[in-house]
Chains A and B, each alone.
Chain A
């Protein structure tokens, strides 16, 4: 079945540091890929998505590129802020045929220190 593997945290960074969170996936067909973020005390929010190979999703300074050849969707941000402290989840969806069901990775907690 489908699966998502992402680096375990916690990841601790200083403000303005570069952030990378690795995510790889296994899926049949051509899934769509997502990054969700959960800030402390809040629900899951869609951060960015990509629906086909070589697409780049971007939002709030975060970027991720759908790499079919390496089955990866790594999340990057060039200069993190304290407000980026959160848990980040990589996810995939098999689309309508799979009822738009999401398969998530285990989550990566990121802590940004001032």
Chain B
């Protein structure tokens, strides 16, 4: 089966611009998670979708971040406006309901200059 796909793989934007990251989960996986690793620190949870509903968005840092999941399929994470501290690697993961393991994507490296 195809894995979790994220794009772009890299993005360099200027402070104040908008960036949209996309994640295509494994087909049939209802759970979708976003995580990020900032400045070589620990990977932190951002939010969790079950199908198209946000189950837990407690990790979203502020209202500059907006996540959506259209029709319970792919998800986007928009940062508007981007700030320097948003630089890092954003990971997406998916899993089946009731199944314990995640599959992670390769991540999007975001650099805000």
Q: How far is the CA of A72 from the CA of B4 in the complex (A)?
A: 30
B44 at the A/B interface (Cβ < 8 Å)? Answer: yes
A32's nearest neighbour on chain B, judged by CB, is: B100
- Could you say which of B35, B100, B105, B106 has the most chain A C-beta atoms within 10 Å of its C-beta? B100
Q: How far is the CA of A91 from the CA of B91 in the complex (A)?
A: 15
Total count of chain B residues near the partner, CB < 8 A: 25
Q: How far is the CB of B111 from the nearest CB of chain A, in Å?
A: 16
A43's nearest neighbour on chain B, judged by CB, is: B106
B95 at the A/B interface (Cβ < 8 Å)? Answer: yes
Which of A13-21, A60-68, A78-86, A98-106 has 4 or more CB atoms under 8 Å from chain B? Answer: A98-106
For B35, the chain A residues whose CB sits under 8 A away are: 102, 104
| B56 touching A102, Cβ below 8 Å | no
Interface size class of A (residues with CB under 8 A): 20 to 34
State whether A107 and B42 are in contact (beta carbons under 8 Å apart), knowing that A43-B105, A99-B55, A101-B56 are contacts in the complex.
Answer: yes
Q: How far is the CB of B106 from the nearest CB of chain A, in Å?
A: 4
Contact for B45 among A41, A43, A89, A101, CB less than 8 A: A101
Q: How far is the CA of A91 from the CA of B35 in the complex (A)?
A: 13
Q: How far is the CA of A17 from the CA of B68 in the complex (A)?
A: 46
B33 at the A/B interface (Cβ < 8 Å)? Answer: yes
For B7, the chain A residues whose CB sits under 8 A away are: none
A103's nearest neighbour on chain B, judged by CB, is: B45
Q: How far is the CA of A1 from the CA of B93 in the complex (A)?
A: 22
| A99 touching B42, Cβ below 8 Å | no
Pairs across A and B, CB under 8 Å, 25 listed = A4-B42, A32-B100, A42-B106, A43-B6, A43-B91, A43-B106, A44-B93, A44-B104, A45-B104, A46-B101, A46-B102, A49-B101, A51-B100, A91-B43, A101-B48, A102-B33, A102-B102, A103-B45, A104-B43, A104-B44, A105-B42, A106-B41, A107-B40, A107-B42, A107-B43
Residues of B within 8 A of A (CB): 4, 6, 31, 33, 35, 37, 40-45, 48, 55-56, 91, 93, 95, 100-102, 104-107
